[in-house]
Amino acid sequence: MVQVTPGRPRRIGLMGGTFDPIHLGHLRAAEEIYWAFELDQIIFIPAARPAHKDTEKVVSALHRYEMVSLATVFAPYFTVSSIELRRPGRSYSVETVRELLKIYGEGTTLYFIMGVDAFLEIPTWKDAQDLFSLVQVIVTARPGWRLDQVEVSLTPELRKMLGEPQFKYLKISEITAEIARQFTPGLVLLVEVASLDISSHEIRQLVEEGRSIRFLVPDTVAAYMAKNRLYQKRKR
Ligand code: ATP
Ligand code: MG
């Protein structure tokens, strides 16, 4: 359930991903955005059948959903949604956003949070331009990518495909209440969060090699992975 102050519009963050598995990089980025943008809640949305990944190689959606639940257990303002798990076919963010806007109705602003690597893939997303008009897009930093170079690196074709968005580059400390509360369709906020150099890919590899993943994922997630023998090398 979303906790809201009566009379105040709802402000909900959405963080989609494969979360195979969820790690502290995801959680820290979400934490910083939650506080800076004075959100009511952030909903983590595991993709059932990620549109851009080989689903054969991804662990089951139920395991990934469970891990997100366990990872967010200590943060009352983080929740997990099974919305993409319940929908047949590939998982497209634009469909999820349309569904959520119908559920929450007027007076709700959705803040769509994604890492810079995901943003740069957006031209391949379904109805990207529509998505940009429905939500406040927040792009967060990630090691290996220059957030302040995103705007200049977009080709004119890409800009057109995204509906000629405007960009605003911000450090967390520069986010005022006024910026946090605005919803400007077509404006992409590039936010310099304290990004951690962690990826799910690296975690899967460490587990396969039998090495430690402590302090890269929450302990609850590490325990779940061990209990269910996720990502371990298959015995032949
Ligand atoms: P993989 O290595 O399997 O691609 P990943 O670590 O990139 O996994 P995803 O589930 O693909 O995780 O990413 C979900 C969202 O979280 C994306 O928007 C991505 O940009 C963002 N993200 C992932 N890792 C980080 C990180 N370390 N810091 C900030 N954002 C991140
Ligand atoms: Mg990724």
5 falls within a domain: no
C-alpha span between 165 and 183 (Å, rounded):
13
- Name 42's bridge partners: 13, 78
For the Cβ of 64 lying below 6 angstroms from any atom of ligand 1, the answer is: no
* Residue 205 is assigned to a structural domain of this protein: no
- Domain containing 62 — which CATH number? 3.40.50.620
Q: Answer whether 199 contacts ligand 1 (Cβ < 6 A).
A: yes
Residue 211 lies in a domain: no
Ligand nearest to the CA of 120: 1
Confirm if 140 and 115 have CB atoms less than 8 A apart.
yes
Q: Which amino acid is at 37?
A: F
Alpha carbon distance 164, 162 (integer Å): 6
- For atom 2 of ligand 1, the residue with the nearest CA is 201
**For the chain, how many structural domains are there in total?**
1
**Prior bond to 143 cis, omega within 30?**
no
Q: Is residue 150 part of a domain?
A: yes
Chain segment 157-180, per-residue pLDDT in tens: 888 888 899 999 999 999 999 999
Residue of 142, 191, 202 best suited for mutating to test ligand 1, as the one with most atoms within 8 Å of CB:
142
- The range of the structural domain enclosing residue 140 comes to 10-197
Q: Which percentage of the chain shows pLDDT scores above 90?
A: 72
Q: Tell me whether residue 154 is in a domain.
A: yes
Assess if residue 72 is contained within a domain: yes
| Residue 66 domain-assigned (yes or no) | yes
What are the tens digits of pLDDT across the range 175-189? 999 999 989 988 999
* Tens-digit pLDDT profile for residues 94-134: 999 999 999 998 889 999 999 999 998 887 888 888 999 99
Q: What is the pLDDT of residue 5?
A: 57
Cβ of 91 below 6 Å from ligand 1: no
Strands, sheet with 136-140, edge to edge from the N-terminal-most edge strand: 78-80, 41-46, 10-17, 108-115, 136-140, 187-192, 166-171
- Establish if 215 belongs to a structural domain: no
Indicate if ligand 1 lies below 6 Å from the C-beta of 165: no
Residue identifier of the C-alpha nearest atom 6 of ligand 1: 199
Q: pLDDT per residue over 43-77, tens digit each?
A: 999 998 766 666 668 899 999 999 999 999 999 99
DSSP letters of 49-117? SBTTS-GGGSPPHHHHHHHHHHHTTT-TTEEE--HHHHS-SSB-HHHHHHHHHHHH-TTEEEEEEEEHH
Quote the tokens at residue 74: 């200590």
Q: What distance in angstroms lies between residue 113's CA and the mean position of ligand 2's atoms? A: 14
* Cβ atoms of residues 54 and 88 within 8 Å: no
